[in-house]
Amino acid sequence: MTAIEVDGDDAGKGLVALVITVVELLVEAMEREAVRRMEQDDLSPEEIERLGAQLAAIEDELERLKESEGIEEGVDNLHGDLDDLISDALVDMANREPGLEGFGG
């Protein structure tokens, strides 16, 4: 069996980058849902203001964490890779399932 050497600092930064990337993807999904709900008039002006402030605060904290950990580029690369993976999966699903033609494109 071959041993794989892992530098603790690199592994730690990789894990932090993955967690931040996943949180960014969740924030993006929440933003899309908020826009959808605003367009359907499901949110009051106060809810819109509060939601916007909360999402902005999360994004600011994520940016601060990326900068302090020195992982901006790693997060950007991983984010792009995950976006591509998700897009490919949605296209594949749309090709297999009737009624999902609007996804992935």
pLDDT tier at 92 (50, 70, 90 boundaries)? confident
pLDDT at residue 105 tops 70: no
Task: Give residues with Cβ within 8 angstroms of 24, minimum separation 6.
Answer: 62, 75, 79
* Distances in whole angstroms, Cα of residue 92 to Cα of each of 22, 36, 45, 46, 83: 22, 24, 38, 39, 14
pLDDT at residue 76 tops 50: yes
* 40 phi and psi angles, rounded to 5 deg: -95, 10
pTM equals 0.73
Q: What is the Cα–Cα distance from 58 to 27, expressed in whole angstroms? A: 8
User: What number of helices (H) and strands (E) belong to the chain?
Assistant: 3, 0
